[in-house]
Amino acid sequence: MLEKYFSAPKTLRRLRTGPSGSYIDGFADTLESAGYSKASAIRYLRNAAHLGQFTKGRRGGFAAIGASTLKAFRRHLSSCRCPSSNGGKTDHHTRFGVKLFYNYLIQRGVCQRHSISDVTKPTPELVVCFRDWFQKHRGAAKATLRLYCRGAVELLEALGPDTHQWDAHRVRKFVLDRSSECAMETAQKLITAARAFLRYLSFLGECPVNLDQAVPALARWRLATLPRCLTAEEVDRIIAACDGGSIGRLRDRAIIMMLARLGLRASDLAQLRLGDIEWENGALRVIGKGRHEVRLPLPQDVGDSLLHYLECRPRVDHTDRVFLRNIAPFRPFVTGHCISNVVKRALKRAGVKSPAKGAHLLRHTAATEMLRHGVPLNQIGLVLRHRSIDTTAYYAKVDVALLKQVAQPWPEVNS
């Protein structure tokens, strides 16, 4: 496989007879299957050979490679004068190539991964059971589970492992003390996690009944602000900023269209699978929060943009996710934050100024546009999958025409 990237017999012989020679061909195969360009693959193969030369005189060889070895190699790069390092710049590409080679060696079983979790304290068994129960019965996402488990661990460390001895005074004091040390958003997340954990303990009979009611509520006025949204002209500018025939632009256009027309969440698109698109019925199956499943109509323009992207979407065998990275390695988006980053870049290209930059901006825009076109609030709530009509009523604040009908004149104006 090296012959695809190198033609000089001297270079091929040096790479295959060097310390990394036993793994260099397999690493080249991995780079090709991941979709890396020829220039990137050549750079990363040279980095692998360089790492081999660096570990040649170190105890343990490749089997002993770990985080400390990689740190020492990065320090070595600043003053590297290795005659057999195969050239190449010592920049961030070098560090990334070495990381790829290290991961390849782990997959081959040559060395072991030394993760941070090996040195951190283990999660208490009670919190592990709470996490598993919450995932099974509530269908919570991994990010939500991490948030709740972090709050549960803090509660256990502050009040002690004997949950039967917990009382309302101690719980309340913990929440108030902890909230005074952090921002409002962090405190609100802690309160939500503490309540969920205490309800779970109460269900098991491991703490006094209704102890979750001892958790105080912070002053926070829900739905007190106006929804941040864009005008129809600004949405058209963002969509136009995604014009082009490249894979990245076709993918971005499909994402923007689905967010702006259907009001989807970023996590909905990140988790969307090929089987969720019902082409014959013109519908889209969406599984959102709490594993709540709905079918939404697929408009013609949204379907066309999605089809154009799928026609040139990278062929990846190990996943059926719709949206992938457009650069190697081709793999699905990890979280909804990746979708929000697509929106941020599109806003920047279109020159649209907005106080909000993420994918939720387009969800707000879709809701307000439906309201302005006369769609009832209950139907908007069905599209947005709100559990309460009160949440959907938030968007009534931007219906200026309706507000004019119910607004009462000030006495000073009539006098």
Selecting among 289, 345, 349, 397, the annotated active-site residue is: 289
Of 43, 313, 360, 385, the catalytic one is 360
Largest CA distance in the chain: 97
Whether 395 sits among the annotated catalytic residues: the reply is yes
Among residues 261, 265, 313, 385, the one annotated as catalytic is 265
Measure the CA–CA gap between 61 and 57, rounded to whole angstroms.
8
Main-chain dihedrals φ then ψ at residue 184, nearest 5 degrees: -60, -45
| Token digits of residue 381 | 């709530």
Residue type, 51: L
In 3-state terms, the chain is what percent helix, strand and coil (to 5)?
Answer: 60, 5, 35
249 is catalytic: no
Distance CA 330, CA 134 (A): 32
How far apart CA 48 and CA 54 sit, in angstroms, is 10
Known catalytic membership, residue 360: yes
Integer angstrom CA distances of residue 53 from 21, 28, 331: 11, 18, 31
Catalytic residue among 131, 195, 321, 363: 363
Q: Which residue reads 């269209």 in tokens? A: 257
In the annotation, is 93 catalytic?
no
Q: By the 8 A CB rule, do 153 and 201 touch? A: no
Q: What are phi and psi of 285, to 5 degrees?
A: -90, 125
Q: How many residues does the chain have?
A: 415
CA-based R_g, the chain, Å: 27
- Shortest CA distance to 270 belongs to which of 367, 186, 358? 358
Active site residues: 265, 289, 360, 363, 386, 395
